[in-house]
Chain A
Amino acid sequence: MTDETVTEPLGPVTTLATPIRLDFEFTPGVAQSRFLRGLEQGKFMGQRCPKCGKVYVPSRGSCPTDGVPTTEDVELANVGTVTTYCVVNVPFAGQSIEIPYICAQVLLDGANLSFMGLIQEIPTDEIRMGMRVEAVWVEREELKPSLASVRYFRPSGEPDADYETFKEYL
């Protein structure tokens, strides 16, 4: 900066940025690593409980009801049902998606556990419980062992699922 530089006079300091930061080395464990490696291949991998037969996705490696290890790997469908949802209208720090957007619990066909997904390609006032959706993945070469490999879910065009088929998962 030279002496010729003309800058607007700065006002008094009124705020101070005080970020708090924690750096972790995160290990998802063997069971969730399997799920993440499935995402890297463009598929949803779950695990079935040998006792009650429920399929968990992502699996934590054991059945929370029976307390036994889940050993059988199950590949799940690319389609599922919106069990419940939320339309996000509130901006927040670090937001990466343009508001409003839909955040939904998606129950993949063949799974007994729903997980959270972004719903796109539909006006936010048309989302509904029971809507059938399909996963839209990133390009093949961009697949990573991360949920970021799933860009979002979009309506699959199938008729809505009957409430009876997903009421247990709310």
Chain B
Amino acid sequence: MPESEALHASHRLEYPYSRSVGPVIGAFLTGLREGRLLGVRGAGGSVIVPPTEYDPTTGGDTGEMVEVGPGGVVESWAWVSHPLPKHPLPSPFAWALIRLDGADTALLHAVDSGGPDQLASGDRVTVRFRPAAERIGAMADIESFVPQGGAPR
């Protein structure tokens, strides 16, 4: 049999893991499902988003949940010209570190700015949630962030 007659097929290996999220990330994800962005109060009053169960500077417990956003400031970003199937948007977008209003740390998410020439560090963006009926309590409940006001520059 010539080599060209060897068969081939696509094969997917998939492990359907699920993980327990704990009380703090659980509250954050519950907030996303409700269309709200939540951080947590850390040592010295700083607000950590996404929230953690411990303060990254002292290692102590974090405190109350604090609502942040829905707007924020792009701290830095990288343009994705060729999105992959697992990415949040099918069209080119930016991965950005976004410091939400009321937060002291940055959250990583997609910004749908329309093009790399329409985004700059320091720009204001605002959250765009998926429709309520589609939200499940996961990071993808945020479809992306968009330039505040919506209009490309």
Q: Which residues of A contact B (CB under 8 A)?
A: 1, 10, 12-30, 32-34, 36-37, 93-94, 145
Contacts and interface: CB of A to CB of B under 8 A. Distances in A.
A15 B5 contact: no
A37 B16 contact: no
Contacts, number: 83
B12 A23 contact: yes
Contact of B18 (A17, A24, A30): A17
A18 B17 contact: yes
Given A16-B18, A19-B17, A20-B17, A26 B137 contact: no
Nearest to B8: A27
A22 B12 CA distance: 6
Given A16-B29, A19-B14, 20 more contacts: A1-B133, A10-B33, A12-B27, A12-B30, A13-B21, A14-B21, A15-B20, A16-B18, A16-B137, A19-B15, A19-B16, A21-B12, A22-B13, A23-B10, A23-B11, A24-B12, A25-B11, A26-B8, A27-B8, A29-B6
B20 A93 contact: no
Contact of A27 (B7, B21, B27, B30): B7
Nearest to A24: B11
14 contacts: A1-B133, A13-B21, A13-B137, A16-B29, A17-B138, A18-B18, A19-B15, A19-B17, A21-B12, A25-B10, A25-B11, A26-B9, A27-B8, A30-B3
Nearest to B85: A23
Interface in B127-144: 132-133, 137-138
Nearest to A28: B7
Interface centre among A13, A18, A27 (most CB of B within 10 A): A13
Contacts of B19: 15-16, 18
B108 to A, nearest CB: 16
Given A12-B27, A22-B12, A23-B12, A17 B7 contact: no
B49 to A, nearest CB: 16
Contacts of A20: 14-15, 17
B26 interface: yes
Q: When A and B form their complex, which 4 residue pairs have the shortest distance between CB atoms, in order from nearest?
A: A13-B137, A13-B29, A26-B11, A27-B8
B14 A33 contact: no
Given A12-B30, A21-B12, A23-B10, A30 B1 contact: yes
Nearest to B2: A30
B11 to A, nearest CB: 4
